[in-house]
Structure 1
Amino acid sequence: MASSSHSLASSAFFSTTPARKLPGSDRFPLTKSLLCRKIPGFSSSTVSVPVCCSNYASSDEKFSSGKKIVDSIFVACTSVALSFSLFLADVDSASAFVVTSPRKLQTDELATVRLFQENTPSVVYITNLASRQDMFTLDIFEVPQGSGSGFVWDKNGHIVTNYHVIRGASDLRVTLADQSTYDAKVVGFDQDKDVAVLRIDAPIDKLRPIPIGISADLLVGQKVFAIGNPFGLDHTLTTGVISGLRREINSAATGRPIQDVIQTDAAINPGNSGGPLLDSSGNLIGINTAIYSPSGASSGVGFSIPVDTVSGIVDQLVQFGKVTRPILGIKFAPDQSVEQLGVTGVLVLDAPPNGPAGKAGLLPTKRDSYGRLILGDIITSINGKKVSNGTDLYRILDQCKVGEKVIVEVLRGDQKEKIPVVLEPKPDES
């Protein structure tokens, strides 16, 4: 079939149809001749195009009219065929300008995009305002002195963030993901763990609580995601992995150690503080609280307070407005001073008589009538757990409860003594 078509297209020949008579003339038969030509764009077939009509003549006007009709049909068919062939011939060149569809995202990319879209409505922007007085007009006005991130804890309007984000604020404003802004009230805070709880009066349909996860089963190397508002920008997402567990940092407010901190290489910049750290399922596993960087920008070492610690603190702040953490009721010397004395432990500088340690009989450091320094008790262990410095002391007390009786072993002079002490709650500092 292909060979016959090719020969047919390459050699023009005439096919003659049987003659038919025209009206008014029985003497002159009309013979139609068709020329078979190959049309560009048709590779496997041929198209018969009427080329001319010959061998007819008539003195009759009707015969002349018929010739004109045939000529008109020929011109019309030729125009259509040429137009169609030009259209097909340009298809290949036109296809070069067709834009291909964008490459599809990979599965892990889609999961990250979905996580950001689903959790962004739970993350808020917090503005810390401070009151200032104009030195000329004496008018009081508010100026922003800091900002940070936070997240919605429940449908009651509770917002969780870092304490250092709200420290020193005269007023606080919370901006939700839809850019609506509300005045916030401080429910309570825990300076030792750098956690604070705010509350806003926002419609329930605008509050999207963040899913709460657990931090006890975290593993080094698993993916984490940090959402926040660095540098006052809109919501941003940074990714990384858990690079360390059970780290210990000091609270920026009190210097008290925070244990079991999560270390991550996800970028945590100024403004990310108070924002959530999420696992790959989109569940909260920590609060971004600090970075280790001389320049103040992310250097690949960020720290987050684990959610297991945060949950207990938030529950107490929401219920009581404060954290009932046990204390010994002492002031102790810096660790360097004790090391210079050549001993190991915590040197008691002061033990107020109305505090737990004072009531139990621990002796503070004082001067005698001649101005000589008399060292107080040096705490060496609590409940049999060795105390080498102030960090050890805090770590042990964090594992105790208010009202619990502990056995404090002290070095008094050259003698060791064991003194029972009943722990009391930390005074209200609000």
Structure 2
Amino acid sequence: MLTESDSEQPAYIAGDTTEYGGFGVFAPHKWSVRRSVAMKSLAIVIGAAGLLATACGEENATTLPQAELTRPPVINTSVPPTTVPASDTAPVSYSTPAQAGSQEDTTQKPSADSGFTFEQIASAHDELMSSLYESVVPSVVGLRVLQLAAPDSNIPQPFPEGLLPETPPDDALTQAAGSGLVWDDKGHIVTNRHVVAYAERIVVVLSDGTQTDAEVVGMDADSDLAVIRVTDEAIRPPPIKLGDSDDIRPGNFAVAIGDPFSRGFSMTSGIISALGRTIRPEHSNFAVPRVIQHDAATNPGNSGGPLLNRHGEVVGINTQIISRTGVFSGIGLAIPVNLAKLVIPSLIAEGHYEYPYIGIRGTSVFPDIAVAMNLPSDTRGALVIAVGIDSAASRGGLRASDQLTVIDGAEFPIGGDIVVAIDGTPIRSMDDLLAYVVEHTRPGDTAEFTVLRDGTETSLSIALGTRPSR
């Protein structure tokens, strides 16, 4: 059963972030589950002016709890970008001396149908990765956060000497850490809300080792996004390039850059594993749609850092992992950058963001539900299970489910309206409904809902409200 505040994975629930670093544990019952990950391979082919990246995918995740990325031990270390020596990309033969006279050097043999040697492919990969890192890392920051201890938290060891020299000892304070990305040339940095929500002091660490203080500008619990601002006007790192999260597909190249475990900046790579995941951030009653699943390693301290495409453009903000151990197990989750493009300007200008609101609980329609409602088994949409009192949905005439049926031994509500389109856009799941309302409407807008009611299609005009803060 799903709501505007639920995901299609009911076990994806928010909770304590005090146990693990960087992606702190997202499970009030200390749940955190991992799935095995299929091996992946990557080949990048460079042509006259283009590169081709291919990789194999991974095993799909089932219903699993999640972990947030937050709080590793803090170490005052950063690694400035380095330049790859030209010799590193020179052709290399991998045959041994004993084999040289008797075995063909396959590193110079053209790969199938490509016209390029394997060595050229490997060299192109090295050049792409190194160049991407060097161009992007100045726009990525590490965060060291001194914060009020959350209830039930384990008090970690104090900051290393010299990192926060002006902060007096205090048993009520703990340390956290994360990453962030430079949003503009005015010193605004985007990170996760769960990294800075309780901050008493925030120290920003740049890739060249510079450290400076920052202040919170705005936070949004429903997207787990926050904006901080560097207070020193003389320090203005370059803004990062923004991509389009609607343009990515499973199998696309994915790169994560951040400051895991506060050990200095690092880069990992993988692929986009899946799209359309839904999660519910800590301290929010509402789901985030269109979440990106990827397998670029993200560990404690990567929270708030960028997920990039092969052009070095941000397509997501890393926020959670699914893991049994609190460290990466092959499933990373990132907030889509297109949602950040909606939320961040409002956080900078007003300190908060207002979402449109319907006021329903619902679930995606699958074959068992459709058959139970005497509909064709291929019927898809968002089934309305409950309607809030005096909500936009109730005023607009949406009907809640009023019957119970048994599916796989469990009672399930049926009989409500099934939303199949909004403003002419097909709705095939609850995630589609959430995504459309968040991305394409604003509070006060009137939207045309097409619904199936007792097997007959009908239209309703609904004036959207404003999402409650809790």
Alignment TM class, shorter chain as reference: 0.5 to 0.7
Alpha carbons of structure 1 residues 105 and 405: separation in structure 2 relative to 1, 3 Å: same
Structure 1 or 2, whichever has the larger Rg, is 1
Partner residue of 1:419?
460
Q: Measure how far apart 1:265 and its partner are.
A: 2.6
Alignment partner of 1:249 is 2:232:
no
Alignment partner of 1:239 is 2:275:
no
* Alpha carbons 2:417, 2:453 under 8 Å: kept: yes
Partner residue of 2:294?
264
Alpha carbons of structure 1 residues 320 and 314: separation in structure 2 relative to 1, 3 Å: same
Of 414, 421, 445, which aligns to 1:404?
445
Q: Measure how far apart 1:288 and its partner are.
A: 1.9
Partner residue of 2:256?
226
Partner residue of 1:176?
205
The CA deviation string for residues 24-44 of structure 1, in whole angstroms up to 9 with x for no partner, is xxxxxxxxxxxxxxxxxxxxx
What is the DSSP-based 3-state SS (H/G/I as helix, E as strand, rest coil) of the residue aligned with 1:197?
strand
* Alpha carbons 2:451, 2:459 under 8 Å: kept: yes
Separation of aligned partners in 2, 1:427 and 1:130: 27
Q: Measure how far apart 1:268 and its partner are.
A: 1.1
Q: Measure how far apart 1:148 and its partner are.
A: 1.4
Q: Measure how far apart 1:273 and its partner are.
A: 1.7
Alignment partner of 1:189 is 2:225:
no
State TM-score, norm by structure 2: 0.55
Higher relative contact order (CA 8 A, sep 6+): 2
What is the DSSP-based 3-state SS (H/G/I as helix, E as strand, rest coil) of the residue aligned with 1:196?
strand
Higher fraction of helix: 1
* Alpha carbons 1:126, 1:174 under 8 Å: kept: yes
Separation of aligned partners in 2, 1:213 and 1:375: 41
Partner residue of 1:105?
88
| Unpaired segments ≥5 residues, structure 1 | 1-101, 367-373
* Alpha carbons 1:161, 1:195 under 8 Å: kept: yes
Q: Measure how far apart 1:105 and its partner are.
A: 0.9
The CA deviation string for residues 301-333 of structure 1, in whole angstroms up to 9 with x for no partner, is 323333333223222322333333321133558
Q: Measure how far apart 1:255 and its partner are.
A: 5.1
Partner residue of 1:359?
395
* Alpha carbons 1:126, 1:172 under 8 Å: kept: no
Matches within 5 A, 1:4-403: 104-106=87-89, 107-108=123-124, 109-132=126-149, 141-144=171-174, 146-167=176-197, 169-177=198-206, 178-189=209-220, 191=222, 193-218=223-248, 221-240=251-270, 242-244=271-273, 246-253=275-282, 254=285, 256-259=287-290, 261-331=291-361, 342-343=372-373, 345-353=382-390, 355-362=391-398, 377-383=416-422, 390-402=430-442, 403=444
Partner residue of 1:53?
none
One-letter identity of the residue aligned with 2:445: E
Alpha carbons of structure 1 residues 422 and 376: separation in structure 2 relative to 1, 3 Å: farther
What is the DSSP-based 3-state SS (H/G/I as helix, E as strand, rest coil) of the residue aligned with 1:316?
helix
One-letter identity of the residue aligned with 2:360: I
Alpha carbons of structure 1 residues 130 and 115: separation in structure 2 relative to 1, 3 Å: same
Q: Measure how far apart 1:170 and its partner are.
A: 4.3
The CA deviation string for residues 238-274 of structure 1, in whole angstroms up to 9 with x for no partner, is 123x243534232333451421x44433211121121
* Alpha carbons 2:143, 2:205 under 8 Å: kept: no
One-letter identity of the residue aligned with 2:299: N
- The percentage of counterpart residues that share the same residue type is 30
What is the DSSP-based 3-state SS (H/G/I as helix, E as strand, rest coil) of the residue aligned with 1:269?
coil
Alpha carbons of structure 1 residues 410 and 142: separation in structure 2 relative to 1, 3 Å: same
Q: Measure how far apart 1:363 and its partner are.
A: 5.8
Alpha carbons of structure 1 residues 141 and 218: separation in structure 2 relative to 1, 3 Å: same
Separation of aligned partners in 1, 2:363 and 2:331: 30
* Alpha carbons 1:122, 1:152 under 8 Å: kept: yes
| Unpaired segments ≥5 residues, structure 2 | 1-84, 90-122, 152-168, 374-380, 403-412
One-letter identity of the residue aligned with 1:360: G
Separation of aligned partners in 2, 1:221 and 1:357: 38
